[in-house]
A and B are shown apart, each in its own frame.
Chain A
Amino acid sequence: MDGAVKRNGLAQAASGQARTDSGDPTERSSAGVGLVRRLASLRLTLALIVLLGVGVAFAYLREGARTWPLVVPLILLAINLMAAVMTNGVFRRQTALLVFHLALVVLLLLVAAGRLTYLNGYVGVTEDVPFEGELSESDRGPLHAGALSGVRFVNRGFHIDYAPGLQREATRNQVAWQGSDGRWHDELIGDQKPLVVSGYRFYTTFNKGFAPTFRWRDTHGYVVRGSVQLPPYPLKEYSQAAEWSPPGSTLSIWVLLDIDEIILDPAEHTSFRLPEHYKLVVRIGRERHEMHPGDSLQTADGTLEFEGLRNWMGYRVFYDWTLPWLLAACAVAVVSLAAHFWRKFTARPWDA
């Protein structure tokens, strides 16, 4: 029935052109069917698999050119498959094989949809300072429409052990996050377990470090708190310095954390922790100051008070609504492929 409808459709399309061309409508129809049959060729499938292989190699070697070398052969393979489904009786007789190939097309469409709506990003969150939807860096698909600005969570601190040789072991990060009903929830996340809020997945990374926290009072008496995330520790152990401007101020404050102890001893089993013996070197213009927790510093723009050190954790942020559907399509594909081969191989022994 479907085949008849498709054949009629092709015939009608052909007859429209037949008025201007001199050909016979029946000939045009058979030419259209012939074209679809050629598009359905299994030999074309082979050529397109080779083309996809070349595209994969190209995409691997040229990071900046990952779209078209893959999209073109994949679209052509999808056309080839749809043509085969229309014309090749094998697909109608072998449902499992048809389902497998259709699942591959669905997979392809889902990946395309995912690329249009994804978000990849990164953010460092200081302990007990709420994340308020702003990322340090991100790239996103042109149709990304997530609600990241409404995501709220707090890094409540983390625990990371190190084996001798500074070999990082499991990361356990306690977080609190706000649900859509406004209630807060506690959760422990880590290496294999992201925080998932509103479809956004926050993964702990190996980036973490120290964040001096300040209280800034400007000349009008307005008080704000801020923290400076120093470079990752122990990755950049010897360059624990950063520049910072208090909110609403143009003052440039350079800070250096001078740690006077060994935090992570490479010879021992140890844990990441805040330093106990340290001083904070603060440079404003040509003035240099050493600060300890509770110390204040008077500047022309206001008063800077050093409250102490906190940890910060770097999170990789990922959003792709297609993930569960991709998994479902994969499951359908592999089950149907297995069913197809099972039926095929149990029907006849290999040495028959």
Chain B
Amino acid sequence: MEQELQVLWVAVTAYVFAGVVAVVGVVLGKRPERSVLALMLAGLALQTLSIGLRWDRLGHGPFITMFEILCSNVWSLMTAYTLVYWRIPRIRASAAIVMPLMFIMLGWLMVAHPGEGHYPPTYNTPWLYIHIGLGKVFLGAVLVAVGLSCVILLRHAGIGLQRLAQLPASAQLDELAFRCMAIGLIFHTLMLIAGAIWAQDAWGRYWAWDPLETWAFITWLTVAFTIHARLAYRLSPPVHAGLVLAVFVTAFLTFFGVPFISATPHQGAV
């Protein structure tokens, strides 16, 4: 276990450096994009190695304990954001917002106990992997939307106008955030469907109002509400950004809060 943890802490250090460089770059008006991308990729490679070592040792994926769930989500969120950072150069400065958000999860990960948990037999199905994978894509899409929304809100509040000027106009960021939410809606829907198939096989019911199912559905409703509200009221970018943040908070509570206060079989594996 020592080895996998050491590799993980080096990965966390790389992420922290990536975030620091991104923030300093925006503050100083520089564009150290290659360095940020290299650090993020290095962090991802090391974290992949760490997760692989643990997976090999325990014989199951990182789905059980809070440590494993945080670790796998840091990995998937960083993968999603790194992909966007690489593919959409115009929004790279948003790393100065997104990476500090990731620091919260990294800090939480560092204080979580890395002990092992029991892998229930009901988790031994491909549907678990599909369900979790789809949920991770949803969270990744929402994270990107949150980064863009924070930029819009900071601009609206008159904070860092000059430093954030290298990013596209708020209307364009708003459109991109909307598209991320649309992608999020599709993947959240798929996650619910895959989860229902898994639950039917594992527990003989596709829906049972367990806390995680209920909160996942409420999260789906908040995404649907946000998309409809933007269409119905032609929301201004700051208002839409506020709704995106509300979705993120709901999703965060669902994914990282509910599984650990619930005593039902569906403990949460995303």
Interface residues, chain A, with chain B CB atoms under 8 Å away: 42-43, 45-46, 49-50, 52-53, 56-57, 59-60, 63, 66, 120, 163, 165, 167-171, 190-194, 201, 203, 316-318, 323, 326-327, 330-331, 333-334, 337-338, 341, 345, 350-351
Encode B189-209 as 1/0 by CB contact (under 8 A) with A: 110010011001111111001
Query: Which residues on B sit within 8 Å (CB–CB) of A345?
Result: 179, 182
Q: Which of B6-14, B15-23, B94-102, B117-125 contacts A (4 or more CB under 8 A)?
A: B117-125
Interchain CA distance A179-B215 in the complex, whole Å: 41
Number of interface residues of B (CB under 8 A): 42
Contact of A323 among B120, B172, B189, B206 (CB under 8 A): B206
Contact of B90 among A42, A50, A57, A351 (CB under 8 A): A351
Query: Which residues on A sit within 8 Å (CB–CB) of B204?
Result: 194, 201, 203, 316-318
Interfacial residues of chain B within 213-244, with CB under 8 A of chain A in the complex: 214, 217-218, 221-222, 224-225, 228-229, 231-233
Interchain CA distance A339-B229 in the complex, whole Å: 21
Interchain CA distance A323-B196 in the complex, whole Å: 10
Q: Nearest 5 A-B pairs (CB), nearest first?
A: A42-B232, A203-B204, A316-B204, A60-B214, A191-B121
Query: Which residues on B sit within 8 Å (CB–CB) of A317?
Result: 204
B232 near A350 (CB under 8 angstroms)?
no
Q: A60-B211, A194-B201 are in contact. Are A171 and B121 (CB under 8 A)?
A: yes
Quick check: is B183 within 8 A (CB to CB) of the other chain?
Answer: yes
Q: A170-B124, A192-B201, A330-B193 are in contact. Are A53 and B218 (CB under 8 A)?
A: yes
B197 near A42 (CB under 8 angstroms)?
no
Query: Which residues on A sit within 8 Å (CB–CB) of B90?
Result: 351
Interchain CA distance A120-B221 in the complex, whole Å: 28
Q: A46-B228, A56-B218, A333-B189 are in contact. Are A193 and B182 (CB under 8 A)?
A: no
B221 near A191 (CB under 8 angstroms)?
no
Query: Which residues on A sit within 8 Å (CB–CB) of B205?
Result: 120, 318
Interface residues, chain B, with chain A CB atoms under 8 Å away: 90, 118, 120-122, 124-125, 168, 172, 175-176, 179, 182-183, 185-186, 189-190, 193, 196-197, 200-206, 209, 211, 214, 217-218, 221-222, 224-225, 228-229, 231-233
Interchain CA distance A165-B196 in the complex, whole Å: 30
Q: A59-B209, A165-B118, A201-B204 are in contact. Are A191 and B124 (CB under 8 A)?
A: yes
Interchain CA distance A60-B212 in the complex, whole Å: 11
Interchain CA distance A150-B183 in the complex, whole Å: 47
Query: Which residues on B sit within 8 Å (CB–CB) of A203?
Result: 203-204
Interchain CA distance A226-B202 in the complex, whole Å: 31
Q: A192-B122, A351-B168 are in contact. Are A60 and B209 (CB under 8 A)?
A: yes
Query: Which residues on B sit within 8 Å (CB–CB) of A42?
Result: 228, 231-232
Query: Which residues on A sit within 8 Å (CB–CB) of B193?
Result: 327, 330-331, 334
Q: A59-B209, A192-B122 are in contact. Are A49 and B202 (CB under 8 A)?
A: no
Given contacts A45-B232, A49-B225, 12 further A-B contacts (CB under 8 A): A42-B232, A52-B221, A57-B218, A66-B209, A168-B121, A191-B124, A194-B201, A203-B204, A323-B200, A334-B186, A337-B186, A351-B175
